[in-house]
Structure 1
Amino acid sequence: MKADNTPTGDDTKSGSPDRTPGKGMFGLPTATALVIGSVIGTGVFALPTALAPYGPISLVAFVLVTVGALALACTFGALSKRVRGSGGPYVYARDAFGDFAGFLNAWSYWITAWAGNAAIVVAWVGYVEVFWNTGHAKAWSIVIAMVGLWIPAVINLSGVRNMAVTQIVTTVLKFVPLLFMATVGLLFIKAHNFGAFNASGTSAGAAISAAAAIALFSYLGIETASVAAGRVRDPQRNVGRATILGTVGCAVVYILGTVTVFGTVSNAALQKSAAPFTDSADAIFGGRWAGQAVAVAAIVSGLGALIGWTLIVAEMPMAAAKDRLFPAAFGRTRKGVPAFGIVSSTLLASVLTAVSYSQFEKVFTTLVLLSVVTAVIPYIFSAGAQLYWLLTRGRQTRWPHLLRDCGVSAVALAFSFWSLAGSGYQAVYYGLFCLLLGLPVYIWLKAARNEYGETPVIPAGEPSMTLAPAGPPQPVAPVDTPVVHTT
């Protein structure tokens, strides 16, 4: 790996325009806060309920998922040093495998982001309803969800600086209470609350695999620093650090916090809980004040995650739009943020949330599994891109380092496939259907490019990062004539 800032490989394929150094950019603290703020949303606050049907065996799955998440974090950190610019998995896949792979990653990740926002806001509603709409009337739940989706959209549309400040504040406010529950709460664990080790009634392997697919949702977002790399100051140094630091911090809080909830709330009660961390705090301290304090932390946490994801949901499509691999409207910016992408994605998340409340009994789990399926596809391509780079361009790397990096990437790739398999047939069906819906879009975009003599439309004032199209066909030189290559 290079330690300097010199582009390596095909860095010119980056999907992000150059930015003035220091202007409207994130340092390491903000980049780390973006990772933690995007990873720790309300998902962790609702996760114990989603894992409760499997019992404590899901903690084994959580540990395995953490190992896989760390492997992915190292993979994203390494890739960010080789391919510069915003876009994360999109630019990595395009650099390694071409335009179509890049488009599939951008499309799949875009679905992940707005479907994940729907899942986050559903969990967020559960904690708001600790104070209001305690009867969980669906109509009011939908209204609360809409408020939770659109406040972050407005904050992002107001400018990058407001988003960055809000992200740091909400990350601190939610991380401290979670860390408290994950440490002090361990002293109040009672063994009988855990229940049967494998409560699912299935084999241990099936239970671990299914629980892992749900647990993976809690780590979605570890790649956000690489997705927004074009906004990070000194990205070759800070993106990898922010990714790994954020993932490790989240892992500690996640595992210990879930153990605390499992050990302080009975398994039967946990399966029915809408706010498991609130119930755990009430069980530890008695009364309702502690649970309400945790609910406030969960509400702040959810808003922070939604603020981060609302930016990320539009960042990758913007990078692809610059390369004419996504509709041009996604490349338009307002106050430095992709306004069309934010508004359109928030609208889609709003529709999905409303439909889910009316169609699915387990709203959170259904949305989680859909998000996991569409997220795992970019993870597979990213791990594959890293392996491809190591095997084709990393030959000058020392053998011990090459073997280490290949091993980490192989773990990340295997983990991603395992998570996909554990998502279940229904989630894979919906995820694959959503992914293939992008094919007509790609055909339309490809037809609008030079292949058919049409001029693609690029937003006014926005530079294109597309590679220059090839010139006219050159005559083939005779066999006995030396060919002179020019640049």
Structure 2
Amino acid sequence: MALADRTGAAGERTEDGTKGGRLGLPQAVALVVGNIVGTGIFLLPASLAAFGTVSILAFGIVTLGALALAVVFGRLGRRLPASGGPYAYAREGFGEFPGFLNAWSFWITAWAGNAGIAFAWVGYVVYFADAAFGLDWSGVPAQVVIGLTGLWIPALINLAGVTRMGLFQLVTTVVKFAPLVFVAIVGLFFVKAGNFGPFNATDGSWIGALSVSAALVLFAYSGVESAGIAAEKVSDPERNIGRASVYGTLACAVLYMLGTVVVFGTVPHDRLVNSTAPFADAINAMFGGGVWSVVMAALAIVSGLGALNGWTLLVAEMPMAAACDGLFPKMFTRMRGGNVPWVGIVVGTALTSATFVLAFAAENAFTTILLLAAFTTVVPYLFSAAAQLFWLTTDGRRAAGGHLAWNMALAVVALLFSFWMIFGAGADAVFQGTFMLLVGIPVYIWVKASRGEYGPKETTHIVTGELR
């Protein structure tokens, strides 16, 4: 089924007057913010501290790259408001197989990244249980049970319908901003220069530390494409996808930068490196512990549930969009209640659960998952920027006047930024991610063969002994 056909079907007016959408601009912004701000940012300062304050510079650079990507996704969403976002752009620009690889890569990002969110989320649950009730849930069995519970609650919310999912996302987004705003603003008055630690805390060059820490930061911004992926569930997608992408990314950028600086400046470096709840530790450093750190941990827990709620939607939307075009197994198109892709939700959450359990057998599991997810995230980003550059180059007349040069510059920045992020992810993450991408090729072959699509028919004619 062609992308234009699916987009047209989704464009039919519903009873509420929207073009097949269920999420208005506030809910679409909440989806972007909710998916960007998960529990990853609440644990990320501890991971970044291992590289030194060079990671703050990395945060600034990645923020600029993320904003460029947000604008590019807005332009792409206006040009092609089809479900699947980066997958749809790659398929329309470069063909079916690149489209499939993008869908496959983002699908890996979604369910593997959810395991990283859950891993960080568990740390705050354990902290909260100990600080509030004196319960010791630090053992591996307890953490596994907590994490699996946190993964399946959002899955059940998504299975209840898009409306309930959107409401939960809006509420949790408002709640999760509270700790970030509080720490980012109030914490500035408690920052001490001696807490920041060395510029480069690694044994290698600061350039290498900058690149790897930037790749970790990219995971914190993963989600800028959320509105584009859920395009067919967004009202007035030609207008709202771009606005939601930029507004959501800008809001997160301000809080991310300030929050990270405050945590670095309030928690001593040696302690921050080993922290499992750095924002709660920052509150302790400001006010000497007590109820505020417990509240911070509770809000971080809500934030994690909101992020898992939004990403659970995307882990189902991407394969559904590809399956509607015959590039993923047909089972991903099965719906419940008319608009709930239940197979994608269940399969994605099951894969996340398995990844989460296996993570406890790995050293530095959180960092490992983040770097892998960063690589599989940036592949669709790269193809999306390339698709925008391709369309501007081949059909630039649609961008009148100076807008063409501006859009070209943004696309080039987003493309170069994506290449840098692949480099920053490191050899191990690139190898693992590439291997997981290649595993998708037999799936592609199986799906095409099961549909009776074996590629173009080619014939050879033998005339007087020559092959022509």
Do Structure 1 and Structure 2 share a fold, with TM-score over 0.5?
Answer: yes
Q: C-alpha displacement at 1:15, in angstroms?
A: 9.7
The equivalent of 2:77 in structure 1 is 80
Letter in 2 for 1:79: L
2:104 is aligned with 1:107: yes
The equivalent of 1:356 in structure 2 is 359
Task: List per-residue Cα deviations over 1:358-413 (Å, max 9, x = no partner).
Answer: 2x121111111111111110001000000000000113533422111111000001
2:125 is aligned with 1:128: yes
2 CA distance for matches of 1:15 and 1:223?
Answer: 21
2:263 is aligned with 1:266: no
Task: For residue 395 of structure 1, give the secondary structure of its aligned residue in structure 2.
Answer: helix
Task: For residue 168 of structure 1, give the secondary structure of its aligned residue in structure 2.
Answer: helix
Letter in 1 for 2:119: V
Letter in 2 for 1:116: G
The equivalent of 1:464 in structure 2 is none
Distance 1:211 1:16, change over 3 A: farther
The equivalent of 2:203 in structure 1 is 201
Letter in 1 for 2:318: M
2 CA distance for matches of 1:100 and 1:13?
Answer: 18
Distance 1:444 1:258, change over 3 A: same
2 CA distance for matches of 1:117 and 1:430?
Answer: 17
Q: C-alpha displacement at 1:450, in angstroms?
A: 3.9
The equivalent of 2:47 in structure 1 is 50
2 CA distance for matches of 1:142 and 1:451?
Answer: 43
What is the aligned length? 447
The equivalent of 1:283 in structure 2 is 285
Aligned counterpart for 1:345 among listed residues 338, 344, 348? 348
Q: C-alpha displacement at 1:24, in angstroms?
A: 5.9
1 CA distance for matches of 2:112 and 2:10?
Answer: 27
Task: List per-residue Cα deviations over 1:69-121 (Å, max 9, x = no partner).
Answer: 00100110000011122110010001100100110011000000000100000
Aligned counterpart for 2:28 among listed residues 27, 31, 42? 31
The equivalent of 1:458 in structure 2 is none
2 CA distance for matches of 1:223 and 1:173?
Answer: 22
1 CA distance for matches of 2:254 and 2:375?
Answer: 24
Contact in 2 for aligned 1:14/1:91 (Cα 8 Å) = no
Contact in 2 for aligned 1:16/1:87 (Cα 8 Å) = no
Contact in 2 for aligned 1:15/1:85 (Cα 8 Å) = no
2:154 is aligned with 1:157: no
2 CA distance for matches of 1:84 and 1:192?
Answer: 49
The equivalent of 1:116 in structure 2 is 113
Contact in 2 for aligned 1:118/1:349 (Cα 8 Å) = yes
More displaced 10-residue stretch of structure 1: 124-133 or 302-311: 124-133
Structure 2, unpaired ranges of 5+: 130-134, 459-468
2 CA distance for matches of 1:451 and 1:119?
Answer: 37
Contact in 2 for aligned 1:35/1:224 (Cα 8 Å) = yes
Aligned counterpart for 1:93 among listed residues 90, 93, 109? 90
Task: List per-residue Cα deviations over 1:147-186 (Å, max 9, x = no partner).
Answer: 0100000000011111011000000011122111111111
Contact in 2 for aligned 1:15/1:320 (Cα 8 Å) = no
TM-score (norm 2): 0.92
2 CA distance for matches of 1:341 and 1:16?
Answer: 21
Contact in 2 for aligned 1:171/1:304 (Cα 8 Å) = yes
Letter in 1 for 2:69: L
Name the Cα RMSD after superposition: 1.8
- % of aligned pairs identical? 54
Task: For residue 127 of structure 2, give the secondary structure of its aligned residue in structure 1.
Answer: coil
2 CA distance for matches of 1:369 and 1:16?
Answer: 38
The equivalent of 2:329 in structure 1 is 327
Aligned counterpart for 1:234 among listed residues 208, 218, 236? 236
Q: C-alpha displacement at 1:287, in angstroms?
A: 2.2
2:220 is aligned with 1:218: yes
Letter in 1 for 2:114: N
The equivalent of 1:425 in structure 2 is 427
2 CA distance for matches of 1:87 and 1:14?
Answer: 11
Contact in 2 for aligned 1:11/1:82 (Cα 8 Å) = no
Contact in 2 for aligned 1:16/1:86 (Cα 8 Å) = no
Distance 1:265 1:155, change over 3 A: same
Distance 1:13 1:395, change over 3 A: farther
